[in-house]
Amino acid sequence: MHHRPPTINAHRDSGPTINCFTLVIIGVCCIGAIAADPPAAEHCLGEPFWRSGKMENEPVLFVQEQGAAVASGTLLFTPTAAPRLTHPDQVTAYVEGRDYTWKKGSRTIELPPGSSIPFKTAAEMTPPSGSPNTLVGGLWHEGHFFHDLQMQATYVHDETWNDPAPPLKERLTRTLATLRSKRPLTIVALGDSITEGYNASGFAASKAPPFQPPYPQLVADTLAERFGGPVKLVNLAKAGTRAQWGLSMVDKVIAEKPDLVILAFGMNHGEAAPAFGATMKQLLEAVVQGCPEADVILVASMTSTTRMKSAKHFIDYRDVLRQMETPTAALADVTEPWLKLLERKPFADLSGNNVNHPNDFGHRLYAHVVCELFAPPAMATP
C-alpha cells in the first residue's frame, strides 16, 4: 500500500464554506474517532460546478498504472493555471513541484518521486480474487478508506459543461409556494444506503474531516438557506433496501405529515426495468394516497461500477421513473450527469467505496440535482 502521510507543515487556509437544514428519507465502516463535527452552518451548497468557472474540491485518487514511472490523476476540466491540491480534510495543502506537478494545457496531475501524496498501484486497485477488501473484482472498502485517498483539487478553468438539470417545469409548485412564503417545510425521503448517507464524510459510519453531511441534509440546508424559511429533514433511509421495503414504511412517512417526499431506490434492485418501475409506481401511489398534499421527488441513481451492473441498467431505471412524472411528482436525474462525469473521470475518483456509493463530491451532485428542481440560486429569492 502506497499511503504516505499528508504534509502537515504545508500552508493552511480555511477552505471553502458549505452550509445546512432538515427533511424525511428512507435508504440503503467505521474507522477511529475523529474530532468533533463542525457547526452546521459550515455545510451548505454553493454554485453547482457546471455553472462556475472555478472547480472547488474535485476528488482525485492517484493511481500508478502498470509500466508507468509515476502515479497520476485526471481532472474534469483543463485548468487555466496550476491547480491547488489539498488533503481530503480540505485544510492541509500540498506543494506544487514537490508533491505534485501539472503541465499547462493538461488535465493530468503527476506525483514526482518523494511526494507525500498517497496513491495506489493498478494492481492494488484490482487485487486477485479472494484478497481482503475485494468485491466484484476490484478494491472495495467502507468507512473513509477511499475518502482518505481522494485528494481535493481546486482550480479555475474556461470550459463549459451542459447543465444536467432539466428545464424548470410547472412541477412541485406546492413545495415552491411553501418555500417562497418561508413557511415551515417538512421533507421525508425513502431510499437505500446512498440516501441514508453512506460514505459521506459526515456520516456516522465514515466520519472524517470535513464532515460533510449526506445529500438529503445538504438539500434541506440549502433550501432553507436559499429561501429563508425553516426546513425539517426526517431521514428514514436504510442500507440494503429496495422499493418493496419502502412500501412497508409508508405509514411512517404519513405520520411525519411531509410537504415533500424523496423516493430514492434502484441501486439494490437487479430485476428488469419494467418490474422495477411497477414496484416504484406502487410505492409512489401509496405515498400520494397517504400524503395527498405532498409533492414527490423520484431520484434516478448514480451507476455502480460496471463490474457489478451495466450503465444501461441504470439508464433503463431512470427512463421508467421519468414516465411517472406528474405536476406533483418530479424526476431528479442523477444518472445522466454521473455518466457524463465518468466520460472524463475514473469511477474511483467519484465513489466512496469504489463499488456503489458516492463520495462527498457525489453526495453534492445528488443534492445539486435535487435543488435544481426548485430553480437555480439566482431565481430562488422571490
Residue ranges in the chain whose pLDDT is less than 50:
1-36, 39-41, 377-382
DSSP 265: -
Q: Which of the listed residues 100, 123, 156 is the one where a domain comes to its end?
A: 156
Q: Is 91 exposed, middle or buried (0-12, 13-18, 19+ CB in 10 A)?
A: middle
359 in the same domain as 254: yes
The torsion region of residue 181 among left (phi > 0), alpha (psi -120 to 50) and beta comes to alpha
Neighbours of 243 (CB within 10 A): 25
The CATH number for 338's domain is 3.40.50.1110
Residue ranges in the chain assigned as alpha helix (H): 122-125, 173-180, 193-196, 215-227, 243-248, 250-255, 273-290, 311-322, 335-342, 347-350, 360-372, 377-380
Residue 164 included in any domain: no
Give the C-alpha distances (Å, rounded to integers) separating 61 from 171, 239, 281, 346.
39, 25, 38, 9
Q: What residues contact residue 310 under an 8 Å CB cut-off, 6+ apart?
A: none
Distance CA 237, CA 340 (A): 27
| 227 and 266 housed in the same domain | yes
Closest CA to 329 of 284, 368, 379, 279: 284
**Residue 75 belongs to what domain range?**
52-156
Q: Are 235 and 267 found together in one domain?
A: yes
Q: Which residue has the cell 426548485?
A: 374
Residues 272 and 147 in one domain: no
Number of residues in the chain: 382
Q: Is residue 44 part of a domain?
A: no
302 with 334, same domain: the answer is yes
Same domain, 227 and 124: no
> What mean pLDDT, rounded, does the chain reach?
88
Instruction: Give the predicted TM-score (pTM) of the model.
Output: 0.88
Both 194 and 333 in a single domain? yes
Together in a domain, 190 and 333: yes
Tell me the CA end-to-end span of the chain in Å, nearest whole number: 53
Report the run of H or E that residue 263 belongs to, with start and end: strand 260-264
Same domain membership, residue 286 and residue 184: yes
Q: DSSP for 176-238, please give it.
A: HHHHHTT--EEEEEEESHHHHTTT-TTSGGG--TT-PPPHHHHHHHHHHHHH-S-EEEEE---
Last residue of a domain, one of 156, 185, 202: 156
DSSP structure class, residue 41: G
Domains identified in the chain, total number:
2
CA distance 23 to 291: 15
The DSSP symbol for 15 reads -
Is residue 293 domain-resident? yes
- Is residue 22 situated within a structural domain? no
* Predicted pLDDT of residue 163: 73
Assigned domain for 20 exists:
no
User: What integer pLDDT is reported at residue 44 of this predicted model?
Assistant: 84
Separation between Cα atoms, residue 285 and residue 282, nearest integer Å = 5
Considering the domain architecture, whether residues 250 and 352 belong to the same structural domain is answered as yes
H or E element that contains 151: strand 150-156
Structure confidence at residue 166 (pLDDT):
57
What span, in angstroms and rounded, lies between the C-alpha atoms of 134 and 235? 30
Q: Which of 320, 173, 239 is nearest to 29 (CA)?
A: 239
State residue 39's pLDDT score: 47
The answer to whether 198 touches 254, Cβ cutoff 8 Å, is no
Same-domain status, 114 and 204 = no
Of 156, 183, 201, the last residue of a domain is 156
Q: Within this chain, do residues 151 and 267 fall inside the same structural domain, yes or no?
A: no
Helices 173-180 & 215-227 angle (0-180, nearest 10): 50
